[in-house]
Chain A
Amino acid sequence: MPDFTDMAAKNLKIAILSGKGGTGKTLLSVNLASAAADSVYVDCDVEEPNGHLFFKPQWNIEKEISVKIPQVDPNKCDGCKKCVEFCKFNALAYINKNLKIFDDVCHSCGGCSLVCPQGALTERDKAVGTLSVGDSEGVRVLSGMMKTGIASGIPIIKELLTQCGSLEDDRPIFIDCPPGSACIVMESIKDADYCLLAAEPTIFGRHNLEMVWSLVRLFEKPHSVVINKCVDQSDPTDEFCKENRIKILEKIPFDVELGTLNSNGKIAARENTKYRDLFSSLLEKIYREVPHEATVNSER
């Protein structure tokens, strides 16, 4: 196994993302983290976290994540409605001398408490999800889950990444990102050192890769592609990468055995040597990619 302590950055953060779900992000992140043996796996797909289904970790810590929601002191409120007018999210309504606060629409910006001339608004905590930390054969697993009905997973992702930042060792961190290219994805890759883009060899795959590729370039993240479930020698995604000179680090062929192991929640790299070798070799390729990229981005 390559020695990553020589790398320019400690706690090398590798984000695995794709334009859409089902392309193999979790397959890759879970297996790469396992192949690295001593690593950290972070599941930022807080709407539909799946990594823990593979690792089945021993959970050590479970923390509730909360956001700040305003609460009103009716004795101090004089009905001026400055807070109602200020709120850009329409989370406040004043009816029958009562201020109504709508938690699920509130963005926790703190603005209403600031604008209230009477100091009638203070803040309380509201649970939006949980963060769990556990271990599975040398891999530290961090998983966040959003409560159903909550609008944004960003506070949970922020907390997940803060937890990674406070680790005291040098272990590489594999970030399993949410699908798409919206704010939750940007939040997940913000501090990544390297991005691995998972793509499918179909016209959908090419189209979705294009979107997430724009994202990583916008954030100036070094990156490469892994095409998953390949059936033919050439495919629309492969063509797209060649046309745009995007490096393809690996083409994983469509493999019934791999698919079955995955659908049964098994970590292929832990099940047999063929897959352990596949993912170790991919891991090595990634490590080789990173140093010369890391020296270019020397702040990392």
Chain B
Amino acid sequence: MKQLLILSGKGGTGKTTVASAFIRLSEARAYADCDVDAPNLHLITKHSKAPSRKDYYGMPKAEIDPGICINCGKCRENCRFDAISVNERSHFVDPFGCEGCGVCEFVCPVNAVSLKSSVAGDLMLFKEGPVTFSTARLKMGSGTTGMLVSEVKKQMKESAEETDFAIVDGSPGIGCPVIASLSGADMVLIVAEPSLSGISDMERIIKTARIFGVIIAVCVNKSDTNPENTNRIKDFCKLEGIPYTGSIPFDPMAVKAVNKGMSIADIDCSSGTAVKEVFNKTMRLLFPEGRHSQK
């Protein structure tokens, strides 16, 4: 199974819009939404049945039994994450701040502290006939996004073993979740925005992606909002030897399509035409011998 990962660095560049168009154009049988903080792909892809769900357990969290606590304060003194507060009765742990390190449990002289497993998110798998869509949602305030991303991809792979091609809508940013998205990817398509912020973020993402030795390609979305910056990106790619797969113009029809739950490849519009070009160029890089089967 060859995996195409779509990344953007910053959010709001149109990553999900491009990913959904690619899914439609490639008739991909397997796809995943790794933006577990703010999953959006399910809003455009159509699913008639409800998904199967699984709890995702994050780091265990500390809990203090107020009946045993003697208010000595040792836990609070030693907590590096400011996760322990005190009231007249006892000390208590803020589950959002707690990182599950176990120090408080270790220092408590009366064994009032215990680490309990906590649900940090929700894994969801949509499976309809041959099509598999894997996604997840992180419970608010949780950490451990990297591991949940890995679970989303694992779920997709396990459910769609015979498929030749999968599309992964990646996480924004450059941290752990992106690194976790990159694992197992054969190619990364970076959707860049022609703004100073967009360029700066694109550069940081390329730096991170290069560590993985995957094929990297770039395309620009909303290219006509700043043609000068679009050209800067094209020049940068040329200099760095990164294939440039195309420019997609800003298109008000795109917003309308998306709000109706359709991809831009479904309607006749300028962004739809442009994304088809980007799609063809990208696929040629990933499948240089041509894509063999359309199972």
Decide if A and B touch, CB cutoff 8 A: yes
Q: Which residues on A are within 8 Å of B, measured CB to CB?
A: 19-23, 26, 47-48, 50, 53, 86, 88-89, 107-111, 114-115, 146, 148, 150-153, 178-183, 186, 200-204, 207-208, 211, 214-215, 218, 231, 235-236, 256, 259-260, 262-265
Rounded to whole angstroms, the CA-CA distance of A211 and B38 in the bound complex is: 8
Instruction: Find out whether the CB atom of B10 lies under 8 angstroms from the CB atom of A114.
Output: no
Q: Which residues of B contact A89 (CB under 8 A)?
A: 101
Rounded to whole angstroms, the CA-CA distance of A146 and B207 in the bound complex is: 14
Indicate whether B200 reaches chain A with its CB closer than 8 angstroms.
yes
CB distance from A118 to the nearest CB of B (A): 16
Known contacts A48-B201, A109-B103; 14 further A-B pairs (Cβ under 8 A) = A20-B35, A20-B172, A22-B193, A48-B174, A53-B197, A114-B78, A148-B174, A179-B173, A180-B172, A183-B141, A204-B40, A208-B40, A218-B140, A231-B252
CB distance from B61 to the nearest CB of A (A): 11
CB nearest neighbor in B for A186: B141
Indicate whether B282 reaches chain A with its CB closer than 8 angstroms.
no
Instruction: Find out whether the CB atom of A208 lies under 8 angstroms from the CB atom of B38.
Output: yes
Indicate whether B286 reaches chain A with its CB closer than 8 angstroms.
no
CB distance from B206 to the nearest CB of A (A): 11
Q: Which residues of A contact B143 (CB under 8 A)?
A: 152, 182-183
Which residues of chain B from 223 to 253 have a CB within 8 Å of any chain A CB? 225-226, 229, 252
Q: List 15 A-B contacts (CB under 8 A).
A: A21-B10, A48-B197, A50-B200, A53-B200, A114-B103, A179-B38, A181-B37, A181-B140, A181-B141, A202-B259, A203-B258, A204-B258, A207-B40, A231-B255, A263-B193
CB distance from A85 to the nearest CB of B (A): 11
Indicate whether B99 reaches chain A with its CB closer than 8 angstroms.
yes
Bitwise, B115-146 to A at CB < 8 A (1) or not (0) is 00000000000000000000000101111010
Q: Which residues of A contact B255 (CB under 8 A)?
A: 201-202, 231
Rounded to whole angstroms, the CA-CA distance of A108 and B78 in the bound complex is: 12
Partner of B142, one of A19, A23, A26, A182: A182
Q: Which residues of A contact B261 (CB under 8 A)?
A: 203
Rounded to whole angstroms, the CA-CA distance of A20 and B12 in the bound complex is: 7
Instruction: Find out whether the CB atom of B11 lies under 8 angstroms from the CB atom of A179.
Output: yes
Rounded to whole angstroms, the CA-CA distance of A226 and B268 in the bound complex is: 31
Indicate whether B208 reaches chain A with its CB closer than 8 angstroms.
yes
Q: Which residues on B are within 8 Å of A, measured CB to CB?
A: 9-13, 16, 35, 37-38, 40, 43, 59-60, 78, 80-81, 96, 99-103, 106-107, 138, 140-143, 145, 172-176, 193-198, 200-201, 204, 207-208, 225-226, 229, 252, 255, 258-259, 261
Rounded to whole angstroms, the CA-CA distance of A48 and B8 in the bound complex is: 12
Partner of B13, one of A22, A202, A260: A22
Instruction: Find out whether the CB atom of A265 lies under 8 angstroms from the CB atom of B38.
Output: no
Q: Which residues of A contact B80 (CB under 8 A)?
A: 108-110
Rounded to whole angstroms, the CA-CA distance of A207 and B59 in the bound complex is: 26
Rounded to whole angstroms, the CA-CA distance of A22 and B140 in the bound complex is: 20
CB nearest neighbor in A for B174: A47
- Known A180-B38, A231-B252, A264-B226; judge A53-B196 contact (CB<8 A): yes
CB distance from B141 to the nearest CB of A (A): 5
Q: Which residues of B contact A148 (CB under 8 A)?
A: 174, 204, 207-208
* Nearest 9 CB-CB pairings of A with B: A22-B12, A21-B11, A109-B101, A263-B195, A180-B37, A265-B196, A50-B197, A20-B38, A20-B11
Rounded to whole angstroms, the CA-CA distance of A236 and B256 in the bound complex is: 11
Q: Which residues of A contact B252 (CB under 8 A)?
A: 231
**Max count, chain A CB within 10 A of own CB: residue among B59, B96, B100, B107:** B96
Instruction: Find out whether the CB atom of A48 lies under 8 angstroms from the CB atom of B38.
Output: no
Instruction: Find out whether the CB atom of B196 lies under 8 angstroms from the CB atom of A263.
Output: yes
Q: Which residues of A contact B78 (CB under 8 A)?
A: 110, 114
Instruction: Find out whether the CB atom of B175 lies under 8 angstroms from the CB atom of A153.
Output: yes
CB distance from A172 to the nearest CB of B (A): 24
Instruction: Find out whether the CB atom of A182 lies under 8 angstroms from the CB atom of B11.
Output: no
Q: Which residues of B contact A109 (CB under 8 A)?
A: 80-81, 99, 101-103
CB nearest neighbor in A for B16: A204
Rounded to whole angstroms, the CA-CA distance of A260 and B38 in the bound complex is: 27
CB nearest neighbor in B for A180: B37
Partner of A214, one of B140, B176, B194, B204: B140
Rounded to whole angstroms, the CA-CA distance of A110 and B96 in the bound complex is: 19
Instruction: Find out whether the CB atom of B142 lies under 8 angstroms from the CB atom of A183.
Output: yes
**Max count, chain A CB within 10 A of own CB: residue among B12, B59, B229:** B12
Partner of B9, one of A48, A151, A262: A48
Rounded to whole angstroms, the CA-CA distance of A203 and B16 in the bound complex is: 12
Q: Which residues of B contact A21 (CB under 8 A)?
A: 10-12, 172
Q: Which residues of B contact A22 (CB under 8 A)?
A: 10-13, 193
